Chain A
Amino acid sequence: MAQIELDHIDRIFRLGDSEVHALRDVTLRIEAGEYVSVMGPSGSGKSTLLNLLGLLDRPNAGAYRLEGRDVTTLSPDEQATVRSARIGFVFQSFHLVPRLSAAENIGLPLVLAGVPAAERAPRVTRALEDFGLEGRAHHRPDELSGGQRQRVAIARATIMRPAMLLADEPTGNLDRATGHEVTALLEALNAAGTTLIVVTHDPAMGERARRRILMEDGAIRQDLRAAAAAPESPGSGSTAPPP
């Protein structure tokens, strides 16, 4: 049993009379711990696929089983519980709450899940250390650099120890060096066992994944599995900073 099982998924947006097939008959299996990149031209349905995997959106047809459980028929509140416990999101535009400090942003999923404050504090402190943000705990997002903001966002996405991490162009708003830094962080999390699915326009980043999915017009055009240890190959041209 794969961690993620999509069968004949259709997602159709209706705009007035016209219909947009954002996803057509997508069937996909992703095992726990996989590192998958999703690439493709703009409008090919990458984000739609990711939202669906993250239970933020429902398909018009098809079945989605997450860890063996049919999740498309769950109530909104049950889906929220699954999101809270199993899924972490990383966005291109960070999506930090501007009035909250770095520590508070990181602790937000714990707060929403009703974890008591006493239990939250050590976990947030750990996360701040893990992501090199010790000195930034009380800084607000507008007092942080882009790379620091995305690190806060990743710390927040992983604080609940989710089974899978969904990243939609996580390096899209970052310069090259900072992008590498963030990529390395995500890969380190994947190495520790978290399933990592990254949507990207950057071929260099897409190449690093062991499995590369190419989308076109709402359908999966290509599904490549690279030889093992591809990210570590020195010939990739990019020099990842030490994690």
Chain B
Amino acid sequence: MTPADTLRFATRAATAWPLRTALMMLAMSIGVAAVVVLTALGDGARRYVVNEFSALGASLLIVLPGRTETGGVNAGSFVSSTPRELTNADAAALLRLPLVQRVAPLAVGNSEIAVGGRLREATVVGTSTDFLELRGLEIGQGSFLPREDFNRASAVAVIGDALRSELFPGQSAVGRMIRVGDTRLRVIGVLAPSGRGLGMTTDELVLVPVATAQAMFDTSGLFRIFVEARGREALPGAQRQVEERLRARRDGELDFTVITQDAVLGTFDRILGALTLGVAGIAAISLAVAGILVMNVMLVAVTQRTAEIGLLKALGARAGTIRAAFLAEAALLSVAGALTGFALGHAGAWGVRLAFPELPAWPPDWAVVAALATALGTGVLFGVLPARRAARLDAVQALSKR
């Protein structure tokens, strides 16, 4: 039998029992669709986090008060126990390092904001001019915080776009006065809408000079210092310089931590990558189940068509021909199911993207290829046993079956 005829014969056999074929395809397609959708979700989450962090810049160092293990992120990285504070003077000292380009000290707190009768709770970030470039922000109206000494508490503020439209609906905000806690500040600029979804949106922030925030919250310490090295290649050198300088400034004690963007990113990448892989593995189990189903269906088909197999032998079919015909049928069922599942899975991922626009829920190529290959592989593998059974049937006995 020519390959084309084998395929045609198998197709006719598959379509002769539409319900059986449809159920079979459903089982296989659910498996493939599950892999596609779940890996799309997992990889989407991974990419989302990576993108979010990349927005901070690739040559970024983050200095946190307190000592935690270096080389990665662990629970301690997010809990700041402060043995000795990081100060504005520390930040200013870092700015003088040769491999450092920008420094933004950070003091953060929550406060009440009042304009006329309007009152609102907002996050206040005390920082410096370099914060704009460091975070890749854009100014919408007016100007950003002026370049001045970190210890100067100017009475100015830059507000996020959402705050502006809430506090000054339909009016210009630049030049107006707001009250933050007990401090009166002049609005000198408004940030452009950030457009970003989850996580750290800047639309509802109030940005003030770091010393202003420290006075407001009655502290002299810093939450973080963001340091940008002169390019990606300078990062390791800059990290060393930052560590040495800070250490020298605190009598050789290492009670602070310098982490790189890469370390944070790498850790998230690994965790979420592993998660995606695990999810894909679980979904792949359903493919194995579908494979066993293919075997079952094909074994039933061999029993159902015993007389037909006997006839084919009487008409001169070789064992190999019969084996190929049944194997082709199993492969056909699997391929059809896998392709349906592929389409279903992509539809599902599309649905996820529609529901969560900020999540880039695209299935990774490796997952799609693996799902299709596994579906095909299991289908053919589990089709071998029934096909061999069919080929081995005794012609005379098979013919006497009804």
Contact = CB atoms under 8 A, between A and B. Distances in A.
Contacts of B399: 56, 91, 95
A83 B12 contact: no
A76 interface: yes
Given A51-B396, A57-B396, A97-B308, A83 B315 contact: yes
Interface of A: 51, 54, 56-57, 76-77, 80-81, 83-85, 87, 89, 91, 93, 95, 97-100, 108-109, 111-114, 116-117, 156, 160
A80 B316 contact: yes
Given A95-B307, A95-B311, A97-B308, 11 more contacts: A54-B314, A56-B396, A80-B317, A80-B319, A83-B313, A84-B316, A89-B315, A99-B13, A108-B315, A111-B1, A116-B2
Contact of B316 (A93, A95, A109, A117): A109
B21 to A, nearest CB: 12
Contacts of A112: 1, 312, 315-317, 321
Q: Which of A54, A56, A117 has the most CB of B within 10 A?
A: A56
Contacts of A80: 313, 316-319
Nearest to A76: B319
Interface residues on B, range: 20 to 34
Given A97-B308, A111-B9, A84 B315 contact: yes
Nearest to B322: A112
Nearest to A91: B399
Per CB-CB distance, the 9 closest pairs between chain A and chain B, nearest first, are A84-B316, A99-B16, A83-B316, A80-B318, A56-B395, A95-B311, A112-B317, A109-B315, A89-B314
B5 interface: yes
A162 to B, nearest CB: 10
B320 interface: yes
Interface of B: 1-2, 4-5, 9, 12-13, 16, 307-308, 310-321, 395-396, 399, 402
Contacts of A76: 318-319
A172 B304 CA distance: 24
Contacts of B314: 54, 56, 83, 89, 95
A113 B316 contact: yes
Nearest to B307: A95
B401 to A, nearest CB: 11
Nearest to B13: A99
B308 A81 contact: no
Contacts of A111: 1, 5, 9
B191 to A, nearest CB: 70
Nearest to B4: A117
A114 to B, nearest CB: 5
17 contacts: A56-B399, A77-B320, A83-B314, A95-B307, A95-B310, A95-B314, A95-B399, A99-B12, A99-B16, A100-B12, A108-B312, A109-B315, A111-B1, A111-B5, A112-B316, A112-B321, A117-B5
